[in-house]
C-alpha cells in the first residue's frame, strides 16, 4: 500500500472506501426565543448540560461548555476552528494541517492514537470519529478516565456534513456559529449551481475522480459528497452506478472512458498527472488523449468540512473552465 494512504484514511476518505467495498430546522424569531428562555432554557451557547446521541448510538452528556477539546480527525478540527474554538483546542491528530494554527497544537497520534497523551491534556471533551479504526479500546480508556468522548459520524453527503457541524456546535456550545456555517455553505453551493445552470445536458462531461491513483485506485462513486459536487455542477460521474468510494481496475477505467480525470493525490505523488496519463493501458482513454487530466486540492474535495464549497468550485473550474474560471 502507498505510504501516503494513511493520510487519506485520516481524512475519512479511505474509511469510506473500505465500507463501500464491503458493503433547516425552522428558526425561532428572536422575541420568541427570549420568551422561551424566560420559561424554559432554549438551546444556546449557555444551555448546558447538553446531551447528544453520537455515531455509536450512545447518549453523551456534556455538563459544562468545554474549555479544552481534543479532536482526533482533521475534518473535526476544521469544523472546530470554523466555529471559533481556536483557544479551546488542546490536542489534534498528527494529520491535522488546516488551518495553520492546528499544526502548532499538541499532537495525539495518527491512526494509532496515544491514549495517555490525550488523558494528560485533560480535555473536557474528545471529538472522535467513526472512521478511527480499531480504536474502541482506547476510547473506552479515555471514557474510563472521566472524559466524555463523542464519536462523530463518517459523513458521506452534504446533509451529513451539516449534521456533523450541528453536532459539534451542540457539544461545544456554538450552535449559532454552526447554523451560520451551514447557511454560508448552502449559499455557496447555490451560487455554484446557478452558474452550472448554463451548462446544457449535451455539453455535460463525464468525469472520474481518483483519490488514490494507479495501480491501487479508489474512486468516488454514488452516495458521496463528491457525487453531489458533480451533480451540482452538471457533470456526469462515470462511477455513478457504484456506491461510496470504490476500488477500480485499470481495465475498467478504459471501459468507462471518462472525458475528464481529476486527481486528488497530487500532494503525495510527484508528477501525478504525468504518471496517470502515462500509465500502461490508458492511452485510449479520452481524458488522456485530450489531456484533460487535472490535479484538484485533496482536502477541500475529500474532507467532510466547511471547505467543501471550495472543493466544489475547484472541480467546476477543472471540468468547465470557460464557465467557472474566475
Give the pLDDT confidence of 285-306 residue by residue, as tens digits: 999 999 999 999 999 999 999 9
User: CA-based Rg of the chain, rounded to a whole angstrom?
Assistant: 21
Average confidence (pLDDT) over 227-249: 96
Say what the pLDDT of residue 67 is: 98
> What is the C-alpha separation between 277 and 2, in angstroms, rounded?
19
Residue 56 has pLDDT above 60, yes or no: yes
Residues 6+ positions from 14 with CB-CB distance below 8 Å: 5, 8, 211, 212, 218, 245
Say what the pLDDT of residue 235 is: 98
Least confident range of 19-28, 66-75, 176-185? 19-28
Residue 225 has pLDDT above 90, yes or no: yes
Residue 72 has pLDDT above 60, yes or no: yes
Residue 78 has pLDDT above 90, yes or no: yes
Provide the mean pLDDT of the chain.
88
Residue at grid coordinates 482506547? 138
| Torsion (CA) 305, 67, 56, 169 in degrees, nearest 10 | -40
pLDDT, tens digit (0-9, with 9 covering 90-100), for 133-161 = 567 889 999 999 999 999 999 899 999 99
> What is the C-alpha separation between 37 and 278, in angstroms, rounded?
64
Percent of the chain surpassing pLDDT 70: 84
Of 65, 89, 303, residue with least CA distance to 169: 65
Residues 6+ positions from 239 with CB-CB distance below 8 Å: 208, 209, 219, 220, 221, 222, 246, 248, 256
Average confidence (pLDDT) over 55-65: 95
Asked if residues 157 and 65 have their Cβ atoms less than 8 Å apart, the reply is: no
Amino acid at each position: 500500500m502507498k505510504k501516503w494512504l494513511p493520510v487519506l484514511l485520516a481524512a475519512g476518505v479511505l474509511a469510506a472506501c473500505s465500507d463501500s467495498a464491503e458493503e433547516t430546522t425552522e428558526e425561532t424569531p428572536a422575541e420568541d426565543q427570549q420568551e422561551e428562555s424566560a420559561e424554559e432554557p432554549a438551546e444556546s451557547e449557555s444551555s448546558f448540560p447538553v446531551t447528544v446521541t453520537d455515531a455509536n448510538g450512545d447518549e453523551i452528556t456534556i455538563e459544562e461548555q468545554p474549555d479544552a477539546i481534543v479532536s482526533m480527525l482533521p475534518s473535526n478540527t476544521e469544523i472546530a476552528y470554523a466555529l471559533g474554538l481556536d483557544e479551546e483546542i488542546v490536542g489534534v491528530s498528527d494529520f491535522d494541517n488546516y488551518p495553520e494554527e492546528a499544526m502548532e497544537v499538541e499532537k495525539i497520534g495518527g491512526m494509532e492514537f496515544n491514549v495517555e497523551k490525550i488523558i494528560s491534556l485533560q480535555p473536557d471533551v474528545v471529538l472522535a470519529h467513526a472512521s478511527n479504526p480499531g480504536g474502541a479500546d482506547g476510547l473506552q480508556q479515555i471514557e474510563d478516565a472521566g472524559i466524555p468522548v463523542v464519536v462523530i459520524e463518517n459523513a458521506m453527503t452534504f446533509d451529513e456534513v451539516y449534521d456533523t457541524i450541528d453536532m459539534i456546535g451542540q457539544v461545544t456550545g456554538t450552535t449559532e456559529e454552526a447554523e451560520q456555517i451551514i447557511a454560508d455553505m448552502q449559499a455557496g453551493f447555490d451560487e455554484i449551481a446557478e452558474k452550472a445552470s448554463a451548462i446544457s445536458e449535451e455539453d455535460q462531461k463525464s468525469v472520474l475522480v481518483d483519490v488514490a491513483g494507479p495501480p491501487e485506485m479508489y474512486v468516488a462513486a454514488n452516495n458521496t459528497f463528491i457525487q453531489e459536487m458533480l451533480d451540482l455542477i452538471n457533470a456526469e460521474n462515470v462511477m455513478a452506478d457504484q456506491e461510496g468510494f470504490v476500488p477500480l481496475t485499470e481495465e475498467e477505467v478504459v471501459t468507462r472512458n471518462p472525458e475528464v480525470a481529476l486527481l486528488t493525490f497530487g500532494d503525495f505523488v510527484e508528477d501525478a498527472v504525468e504518471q496517470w496519463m502515462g500509465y500502461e493501458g490508458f492511452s485510449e482513454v479520452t481524458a488522456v488523449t485530450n489531456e484533460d487530466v487535472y490535479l484538484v486540492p485533496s482536502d477541500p474535495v475529500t474532507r467532510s468540512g466547511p471547505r467543501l464549497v471550495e472543493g466544489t468550485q475547484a472541480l467546476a473550474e477543472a471540468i468547465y473552465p470557460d464557465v467557472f474560471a474566475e
